[in-house]
Amino acid sequence: MTSQTKGTVLITGASSGIGAVYADRFAARGHDLILVARNQDRLNAIADRLTTRHGVKVTTLVADLTARDDLAKVEAVLKTDASITHLVNNAGFGSAAPLAQADVDEMEKMVAINVTAPLRLTYAAVPQFVARKQGTIINIASIVAIGPEVLNGVYGGTKSFVLAFSQSLRKELAGTGVRVQVVLPGATGTEFWDIAGLPASNLPKEWVMSAADLVDAALRGLDRGEFATVPSLADGAEFDAWEAARQTMLPHLSSAAVAERYRA
């Protein structure tokens, strides 16, 4: 099978960490790639390596996804390149700073990269995928989507958005041939932690998964048709119980009648 028949995977934040491993793994599966990030040198080095090693076509697209014009360039590619079969919304950054020590402009930038970018790229990709009756969207959330109080609250909020958006997309896209997977990594050994202001070397070793293990587990989840993949959660039944509690509560959340406990 030629690389063309496997389809092209567009990966944001492919210049390092989790995104770079996704690039490697999808190239090894024979997919062509479009790699997006700001650092051209790093993207070029990855593209050269993967082209040589796997013989796939790798295109680099330098874009600051917090800048509207750059984001629009990536949206245009998703709208016009009919070879794209997968979108991996991975680019992002976090913070460990509490509100009193966090810079509000930096927090707004975090919302731009972690929320606005995947939102706009998904809006660009979905109509094309639906028209072609195939396509896969992989959204990289975080375990802080479940526990927003673990790190910086804005970071937790952005990842809760990614989870909620994915849950809604999954329902809306059912029966269209388009798949959605949301991945919730725990602490993963990447530059993320240096940028967040808390280098991973400060964390207990037994908490930190390698990016390679994280992506391999996430792809195993994808291959099994899983919607939400939490690679570090030993007992998957805990996630299922959380989801079941949500589904139990859902039909009871809206009512004309005030709940008994709030009546005068």
- Residue 263 main-chain phi, psi, to 5 deg: -80, 145
d(CA 61, CA 2): 23
| Interface pattern 193-212 for ligand NAP (x via CB under 6 A) | --x-----------------
**Subset of residues 31 to 70 that bind ligand NAP, contact rule: CB under 6 A:** 37-39, 42, 63-66
Q: Does 92 bind ligand NAP (CB under 6 A)?
A: yes
Q: Does 216 bind ligand NAP (CB under 6 A)?
A: no
Q: Does 75 bind ligand NAP (CB under 6 A)?
A: no
**Subset of residues 236 to 255 that bind ligand NAP, contact rule: CB under 6 A:** none
Nearest residue by C-beta to ligand NAP? 17
**Subset of residues 2 to 31 that bind ligand NAP, contact rule: CB under 6 A:** 13-19
Question: Which one, 39 or 44, has the nearer CB to ligand NAP?
Answer: 39
123 annotated active-site: no
**Strands of the chain, DSSP E:** 8-12, 32-37, 58-62, 84-89, 135-140, 178-183, 228-229
Q: Which region, left, alpha or beta, applies to residue 185 given φ > 0 means left and ψ of -120 to 50 means alpha?
A: beta
Residue 161 vs residues 15, 23, 249, 263: alpha-carbon distances, Å: 24, 25, 20, 33
**Subset of residues 132 to 191 that bind ligand NAP, contact rule: CB under 6 A:** 140, 142, 185, 187-188, 190-191
* Cβ neighbourhood burial of 202 (10 Å; 0-12, 13-18, 19+): exposed
Q: Which of 22, 123, 155, 262 is catalytic?
A: 155
Question: Which one, 167 or 176, has the nearer CB to ligand NAP?
Answer: 167
d(CA 85, CA 222): 14
Q: Does 124 bind ligand NAP (CB under 6 A)?
A: no
d(CA 32, CA 28): 10
Q: Which region, left, alpha or beta, applies to residue 31 given φ > 0 means left and ψ of -120 to 50 means alpha?
A: beta
The answer to whether 178 and 134 are in contact (CB under 8 A) is: yes
Choose one: 25-33, 78-86, 88-96, 223-231; the region binding ligand NAP (CB under 6 A).
88-96
Considering only 83, 93, 111, 157, the residue that binds ligand NAP (CB under 6 A) is 93
Q: Does 231 bind ligand NAP (CB under 6 A)?
A: no
Question: Which one, 94 or 135, has the nearer CB to ligand NAP?
Answer: 94
- The stretches of 115-195 forming alpha helices (DSSP H) are 117-132, 153-172, 192-195
Partnered with residue 182 across adjacent β-strands are 139, 228
Binding site for ligand NAP (CB under 6 A): 13-19, 37-39, 42, 63-66, 90-94, 113, 140, 142, 185, 187-188, 190-192, 195
The residues annotated with a catalytic role in the active site are 155
